[in-house]
A and B are shown apart, each in its own frame.
Chain A
Amino acid sequence: MKILLIDDSKTMRNIQKSVLKQLGYTEIEEACDGQDALSKIGAFKPDLCLVDWNMPIMDGLTFVTTFRQTDKTTPLIMVTTEAEKSRVIQAIKAGVNNYVVKPFTPDLLSERITETLAKCSVGS
């Protein structure tokens, strides 16, 4: 199971990485914005992406929209401080499979990851 973490904050990527490692996922790649993610995604071929919304250069929503033009199936979870209902709807319309609002507990992030992978039938 290969997971791509897309967040401009190294702190947040490290927190997510530690939750993923506790879940047994160790094949993790990191990207610091949407453009960086798009440049890595072809070679890494992730089975799941965790995407922040507010990032410099290319934000998460633009990444999701761009990515979904060519890949309709890889599960995407938006992990963001953007908590308004309108934002959640916007992200789902763009193609995210699940949504986690920061701040989150490790348990909540674990739950959402497990739930998303089960829903999208991605084997571990």
Chain B
Amino acid sequence: MDANMITPFVNSIQNVFSTMFQLPVEIGDPRIKSDRKATHDVSGIIGVSGEMVGTIVLSMPSAAAQSIVTLFTGTEFAVESDDFADAVGELVNMISGNAKAEFQRKGVSITCPSVVIGENHTIAVQSGTPCVLIPCTTDCGEVVLEVAIREAEVEAAAA
């Protein structure tokens, strides 16, 4: 995957975390992720469609996610609660939307977020799309951003 596709996400997670709750994010070395198993047990997921297609996942261990959600909302929610899932969804929504803007393409859309919570869940991504895992260190713990997007294939011309 082109590094130009990763930089917007690095900038975006730092921007979202620092603007919304003043949490600095230190970025580690991105690497290709080869399995579908979720890195951590809380996953905020956004789909990308249009000129670019794929999936963006914010994956966090429960403890880190709880601390981050508490900073974000000002309230301590149980991991099982709807409010917790809503906050995780809004975080990945902001990260994805912010990164999308850096691509400056008219024809890229993002879906409303989904949140999956539970140990050892798997996330199916489109086959043939490499997934880049971006490790992020924060004072609340380690989280990762998983970016599996690519340019959409040009549709066959209409007959």
Binding site for B on A (CB under 8 A): 8-12, 14-15, 18, 54-56, 80-86, 101-105
Asked if B86 and A83 sit within 8 Å, CB to CB, the answer is no
A9 neighbours in B (Cβ, 8 Å): 86-87, 89-90, 93
Asked if A103 and B19 sit within 8 Å, CB to CB, the answer is yes
Tell me the bound Cα distance from A85 to B15 in angstroms: 19
A11/B94 contact (C-beta < 8 A), A83-B101, A103-B15 known = no
Q: Is the interface of B mostly helix, strand, loop or mixed?
A: helix
Looking at B104-112, B127-135, B141-149, the stretch in contact with chain A turns out to be B104-112
Asked if B83 and A11 sit within 8 Å, CB to CB, the answer is yes
29 A–B pairs (Cβ distance < 8 Å), ordered by A: A9-B87, A9-B89, A9-B90, A10-B83, A10-B86, A11-B72, A11-B73, A11-B86, A11-B87, A11-B90, A14-B73, A18-B74, A54-B97, A54-B111, A54-B112, A81-B94, A81-B96, A81-B100, A81-B101, A82-B97, A82-B101, A83-B98, A83-B100, A86-B106, A102-B98, A103-B15, A103-B20, A104-B19, A105-B19
**Nearest opposing residue in chain B for A8, CB measure:** B112
Tell me the bound Cα distance from A102 to B98 in angstroms: 8
Most buried by A among B16, B19, B90: B90
Encode contact with A along B13-32: 1 for CB under 8 Å, 0 otherwise.
00110011000000000000
Tell me the bound Cα distance from A80 to B93 in angstroms: 10
Residue among B72, B86, B89, B97 making CB contact with A102, cutoff 8 Å: B97
A15 neighbours in B (Cβ, 8 Å): 73
B72 neighbours in A (Cβ, 8 Å): 11
Asked if A103 and B86 sit within 8 Å, CB to CB, the answer is no
Given contacts A81-B101, A84-B104, A101-B101, 12 further A-B contacts (CB under 8 A): A8-B112, A10-B83, A15-B73, A54-B97, A80-B97, A81-B110, A83-B98, A84-B101, A102-B93, A102-B97, A103-B19, A103-B20
**Nearest opposing residue in chain B for A90, CB measure:** B106
B97 neighbours in A (Cβ, 8 Å): 54, 80-83, 102
Tell me the bound Cα distance from A49 to B157 in angstroms: 43
**Nearest opposing residue in chain B for A7, CB measure:** B90
